[in-house]
Amino acid sequence: MTAELQRFWRGPAQDPSWERPALVFLLAFNAVLYSWNLSINGWANYFYSAAVQAGAIDAKAFFFGSSDWGNSITVDKPPLSLWIMGLSVRLLGFNPTAMLIPQVFMGVLTTLLVYLILKRCVSSMAALFGAVVYFTTPIVTLMSRYNNPDPLLLLLMVAAAWCVLRSIETGRGRFFIMAGALLGLAFMTKQLQGLLNVPALGLAFVLFSPQAWPKRLATTVGGITALLVTGGLWMTTVDLIPGDHRPYVGGSPSNSVLQLTFAYNGVDRIISNGAMPEAMQVPARFRTVDSDAGLLRLLNANYNQEASWLLISALLGIGLLAIHWRSLSRSGTIRPLALLSGAWLFTAFFLLSFMGEQIHTYYTAALGPPLALVLGLTLNTLIAKRNSLLTRLGGAVIAIVALLTAWLVLGSAEWPNWIPPIVLGVGLAAVAVLVVKPPAIRIERGAAALLAIAMLIGPVITSVTNVTVGFNGSNPLSGVLSKNPASISHLMASLRKGELAWGHDIAFGRTPDPKVVETLASTSDCTWAAATYASQTAARLQLESSRAVMPLGGFSGSDPTPTLESFKEKVGAGEICFFIQQEAFLEVQATDSESTAISSWVEENFSSEVLDNTTVYRLTTN
C-alpha cells in the first residue's frame, strides 16, 4: 500500500483510526444498495424516460424538456434533472441503466454530504449514524434508483445547507451566495419544493453569521439574487418565447411556466382537495375518508413505510437539543446546524402532514436529509451527556418511541409476523441495559449496537425490498403491501392489474400491443408517428417504437393542447400518421373536453382498424 493510499485509508490524524474505513465501507454499501439490480425498474417513470429520449434526439426537446421530439408539449417540471440524465445517455447510449446511473451517483453523494455536514461538529459515531439513517430511508433508496427529479433535488438542498454552514463557520459571504445559486438550481429541478429548506437556511444564516449586520444583509441580498438568477433564467426565457415557437408548457392551463410554478406545482399542491369528476373517482373502498391530512398522516398505512420509521423520534430529538441548547458549543456550527436541521424537519413535517390531497407518497423523500441531521445531532448529545441519568432517560424515551414506531409500521404491513415482536424485544432489552449505565464499556457498546440494529432494521429491510422489486409508472411505493385494504398500496396494486382501466393508463400507461409498435416503427414521413392520450401511454409507445408520439392533453390528458383546430391543421399538413384510441380514457372525460372533441372528429372522418387489441386510425393517405 502506497503512502498516499495509507493516508487516505487512515484519514485525518485527529480522527479515530476506524472512522475512514467505516465511512468507505458505508459509502460502498450505499452504492451497492442503490445500483444493485438497477435494470429491474426498466424505464421506471415512462413519462420522464420519454422526455430523456426526446432530448437525446433533438436539441430543442432537450432545452425545453419536451415529452416528444416533435416538441408538442413539455413535461410538468423544469428540465434540469432531464438534462443530467440526457447527458448520461448521450455518453453511454439510450438504455435504462445509463439513464439511472446519475440518480445512483447523486444519492451516494448526498449521503457523503450528510456525513460531512455532521462531521464538522459532532462525534465520528454520530456523523456515521446520520449518514446511515439517510441512505437507508426507504423512499430515498427508491428515488435514488428511479428517474424522478428527487435525487437531484435532495442533493442540491443538502449542498446548499453545507454552503450556509460553511459561510457561518468562515464568515465568507461567497458560500451563502453559492447556497442561493444551488437553491435556484433546486427550483429548476422541482420548482417550489426545492425551496422547502429556504426558511431554515435563511434563519440560521441571519442569526449566526459572524458578519457585521450591514455586510450580513448585503450577503443575504446576494444569495437571494443568485437564487433568482439560477432559478428564474430558464423560466423567464421560456415565457418570453412566443407560444407558437415552442412546446406547450405541460401542466399549465395558460401555457406559462410562471402559472405552472405557482399553481400546478405550487398553491394547488398545498391547498387543493384533489376533487375529481364523479366518473374519475376511484372505487369507494379506497375512499374511506375525504382527507387524511393531519398530524398522524405520515404514520398511516399510505406513507409509514416511506420515511416515518424514525420520524417521531427525530421530532423528540429536537426537544432534547432544545433542552441542552445552552450546553451546545457557541463556537463552530453545532448550534446553527441544530437550528437549521430542526426548522427544516418541522417545515417538511407540517407541510406534508397538512397539504391537500395532491400529495404523492414519494414526497416524503423531503424528510430524509433533516431527519438524518437531527438524529445525528441527537445521538451526539446523548453520547456527550451519557453520564447524566436524565439524559439517559431522555434517550431511552426517544429510542422506545422509535422501537414502537417500527413495531407498528412492521405490524401494519404484510411483513412476517415474527419480525415486529423480535425487533421490539431486542430493542427494549438494549434500552434497559443502557439506561442503568453498564459497568463495562464493552457491554455498553454491545447494547448500543443492538439498539441501533433494532432501530434501523425496519428501514433497511424495506430498502432491500425496494431493490428486489421492479417499479414503474408515476407513483412508486416502498416496501410490501399494507394490511389496510383501503391503502394506496392496494389501489396501485389494483391499477397495475388493470382493474380500473383509465387509472392504469394514467398511472402506468397502456401496454403497447406488438402490432401497434411495429406499425409506428415503420413510419418515416410524419413529425409524429401517432397521437394518443395520456402521457404515460404515449411515452410507452414512443419508447417501444422509437418514433415521436404526441401526448394529447399532457400528463393526465387534461391540458388544453392541442386544440381541435390545431390538431386538424397538423393532420391536414400530414404531420401525424396515426391516432390511437383509448376507450377507457375517454369514458372519464368531460363531453366538452379537447380530448373528446378530437376523438369524435377522428371517428367521424377516418376509418378505424384494430391492431391486436388497439383501435387505430390512419390519418395520412400514404
Give residues with Cβ within 8 angstroms of 25, minimum separation 6.
none
According to DSSP, residue 511 is labeled P
Compute the average pLDDT of residues 238-259. 94
What confidence tens digit (pLDDT) does each residue in 507-553 have? 999 999 999 999 999 998 899 999 998 899 999 999 999 999 999 99
Residue 1: pLDDT over 60: no
C-alpha to C-alpha distance for 418 and 411, rounded to whole angstroms: 9
In this prediction, residue 3 carries a pLDDT of: 72
Domain residue spans of the chain: 16-266+293-465, 504-618
Q: What is the mean pLDDT of residues 27-35?
A: 97
β-pairing verdict for 576-580 and 614-618? antiparallel
DSSP 510: P
Q: How confident is the model at residue 501 (pLDDT cuts 50, 70, 90)?
A: confident
Location of C-alpha cell 456515521: 128
Confidence label for 351 from pLDDT (cuts 50, 70 and 90): very high
Q: Is residue 215 pLDDT above 80, yes or no?
A: yes
Task: Cell 376507450: give the residue.
Answer: 583
Q: Which residues contact 449 (CB under 8 A, 6 or more apart)?
A: none
H-only helix segments in 385-487: 389-412, 419-435, 441-468
Side chain identity at residue 268, one-letter code: D
Is residue 62 over pLDDT 90?
yes
- Looking at residue 596, what is its pLDDT? 87
Nearest Cα to 371, choosing from 133, 152, 164? 133
What the block records as the C-alpha cell of 36 is 444493485
Q: What is the DSSP letter of 141?
A: H
- pLDDT of the residue at 273: 52
Strand partners, 531: 550, 579
pLDDT in tens, 400-455: 999 999 999 999 999 999 999 999 999 999 999 999 877 888 988 999 999 999 99
Decide if pLDDT at 603 tops 70: yes
Query: Where would I find the H helices in 469-511?
Result: 488-496, 501-507
Task: Render the burial of 293-303: b for 16+ CB within 10 Å, e for the rest.
Answer: beeebbbbbbb
Mean pLDDT in residue range 381-393: 91
pLDDT band, very low/low/confident/very high, at 622 (cuts 50, 70, 90): low
Tell me: cis bond preceding 79? Omega within 30 of 0 counts. no
**Confidence (pLDDT) at 296:** 93
Lowest mean pLDDT among 14-18, 109-113, 172-176, 268-272: 268-272
Q: What is the DSSP string of 219-230?
A: HHHHHHHHHHHH
Q: How far is CA 609 from CA 400, 481, 505, in A?
A: 64, 40, 21
Mean pLDDT rounded to a whole number for the chain:
93
Supply the DSSP symbol for 264.
I
Q: How confident is the model at residue 272 (pLDDT cuts 50, 70, 90)?
A: low
What integer pLDDT is reported at residue 99 of this predicted model? 97
* Secondary structure letter of residue 40 according to DSSP: G
| Residue 390, number of CB atoms within 10 A of its CB | 9
The neighbouring-strand residues paired with 493 are none
pTM over 0.85: yes
Which grid coordinates belong to 13?
A: 490524524
- As a whole number of angstroms, the longest Cα–Cα distance in the chain is 89
How do residues 181-195 score in pLDDT, each as one tens digit?
999 999 999 999 999
Q: In which band, very low, low, confident or very high, does the pLDDT at 24 lie, cut at 50, 70 and 90?
A: very high
pLDDT tens column, 281-338: 566 666 666 678 899 999 999 999 999 999 999 999 999 999 999 988 887 899 999 9
Ordered DSSP codes for 265-325: IIIHHHH------GGGPPPGGG-SSS---STTGGGSTTTHHHH-TTHHHHHHHHHHHHHTG
Task: Indicate if the pLDDT at residue 486 is higher than 80.
Answer: yes
Question: Where residue 30 falls among pLDDT bands split at 50, 70, 90?
Answer: very high
For residue 46, give the C-alpha cell. 415512462
